[in-house]
Amino acid sequence: MAGGVAAGLADHFGVDVFWVRLAFVAGTWVNGFGVLVYIALWRLLPQGDAADPEEPAGLASATRRGLRTPGRTSRLPGGDKGQTLALIVLGLGVLLLLEHLGWGLTAGLFWPLLIAVAGLALLWRQADEAQRQRWAGTSPDVPVLGLLLGSGGWAAVIRLGLGGVLLATAIGVFVAQSRGVEALGAVAIATVLALLGLALLLGPWIHRLSRDLAAERRERVRSQERADMAAHLHDSVLQTLALLQRHAGDARTVARLARRQERELRDWLYADSAPAGETLRAALTAVANEVEDRHDVTVEVVGVGDVPMDDRLSAMVRAAGEAMVNAAKHSGSDHVDVYAETAGSSVEVFVRDRGAGFDPDAIPDGRLGVRESILGRMERHGGSADVRSAPGEGTEVQLSMTLQERDEESSR
């Protein structure tokens, strides 16, 4: 409701958020126990990762420099508010009913408590948001007020003020009830004086401390980024440039080196792909890169859906790699298209070139690789392969396989 605790728990236990909220509301009937638990959890539970993972370096940089409009992804579930409101009203109703029946807290304690809880909730909520923003690193400077205010502007000030007033009212009501109204003035003045003194003593110190901390953190992050960047540029780009100069006369080598560097840089800037070997797509891409390096061709891999690798799929990837090598060596074309599709439990991989082609019924001796390492390998692992080609028409190898019992994690 307020801090997302119910939603977090629901997520954790895999139940609908409604039931968790109901449990909390029911908990409040027992002398406000639910509220206490809620607040405790809110304080103690770690905040989950924001749903938005870190952007790849290239995209983040493009966003920062205003080269692209970042995706507007609002993740606030809109229809949730009515339900929450209904729950709160229901909870309050039952609370009042219990009150009426004399089962709950005495009225003298109840109202101050309720107001105090509301005030605290507002204050903490504000601090919570300020903290989140600081973690996200959006507020550039963090003065001491910023700790509480964040960059929320007037809404934050109003919220903060309201929280403070509620809390003060709660204390006032409590004091008035226990000591009589006369004591109220004296207590209020004493409190204000004490707070002022504390603020004067500690304010500047806290202010400077927080500024220094923020500056230091920013500097550290920046220098780490710079170091990473420098290391990467040295490892790959600089080496490639040196190689390019040494091979300046050899067009094929230059093209190959440039292509490889492009791939690496692209990977580094924009990658979100799984580590090689973990999923079908990543494995195919790895094989395709190898073929590009060895045979002076470009291999473009396009994938739809993805699956985690297993033994049979690695056989399929090896067969696909063989088909790519064949296309690179024999077709005479300098471009190979690879398309992998996972739909439900069936996986298909197509490897296609627009080169010379051949007559598949008369596979010459030199092409024994096709029969053995592609057709044979697929059949041994329970899949199938089909070669379509005709002289002058290019070649397309189709590999198919059915996965067993993994339907729920297959495609997305």
Partner 1 sequence: MKSALTVVLVDDHQMFRTGVRSELGGSITIVGEAEDVDSAVAVILDKAPDVVLLDVHLPGGGGAEVVRRVHQRSPDRKFLALSVSDAAEDVIGVIRAGARGYVTKNITGPELVDAIRRVADGDAVFSPRLAGFVLDAFAGTIEVAQVDEDLDRLTEREREVMRLIARGYAYKEVAKELFISIKTVETHVSSVLRKLQLSSRHELTRWASDRRLI
Interacting residues with partner 1 between 302 and 321 (CB under 8 A): 302-305
Contact call for residue 216 and partner 1 (CB under 8 A): no
Note the maximum CA span of the chain. 109
Helices 107-136 and 33-44 cross at an angle (nearest 10°) of 20
CA 222 to chain CA centroid, Å, is 22
Which residue lies nearer to partner 1 by CB, 71 or 140?
71
Interacting residues with partner 1 between 275 and 304 (CB under 8 A): 281, 300-304
Phi, psi (rounded to 5 degrees) for 301 = -105, 125
Contact call for residue 71 and partner 1 (CB under 8 A): yes
The region of 60-68, 82-90, 122-130, 220-228 touching partner 1 under the rule CB under 8 A is 60-68
Share of the chain residues as helix, strand and coil, in percent rounded to the nearest 5: 65, 10, 25
Q: Which of 266, 371, 380, 406 binds partner 1 (CB under 8 A)?
A: 266
Q: Which of 7, 244, 339, 386 binds partner 1 (CB under 8 A)?
A: 339
Tokens of 205: 């110190």
User: Could you tell me the smallest distance in angstroms from the CB atom of residue 71 to partner 1?
Assistant: 5
User: Could you tell me the smallest distance in angstroms from the CB atom of residue 313 to partner 1?
Assistant: 18
CA distance 56 to 53: 9
Tokens of 193: 């004086």
CA distance 201 to 78: 46
Q: Which of 14, 44, 49, 73 binds partner 1 (CB under 8 A)?
A: 73
Q: Which of 96, 213, 343, 368 binds partner 1 (CB under 8 A)?
A: 343
Which residue lies nearer to partner 1 by CB, 20 or 284?
284
Nearest in space to 404 (alpha carbons), one of 318, 307, 319, 274: 307
| 46 C-beta neighbours (distance < 10 Å), count | 6
Contact call for residue 396 and partner 1 (CB under 8 A): yes
User: Could you tell me the smallest distance in angstroms from the CB atom of residue 167 to partner 1?
Assistant: 40
The region of 86-94, 139-147, 346-354, 361-369 touching partner 1 under the rule CB under 8 A is 346-354
The region, left, alpha or beta by phi > 0 then psi within -120 to 50, assigned to residue 180 is left
Which residue lies nearer to partner 1 by CB, 235 or 407?
407
Helices 5-13 and 17-29 cross at an angle (nearest 10°) of 120
CA distance 184 to 207: 32
Where do contacts with partner 1 occur on this chain (CB under 8 A)? 52, 55-56, 58-59, 62, 65-69, 71, 73, 262, 266, 269-273, 281, 300-305, 337, 339, 341, 343, 350, 352, 354, 396, 411-412
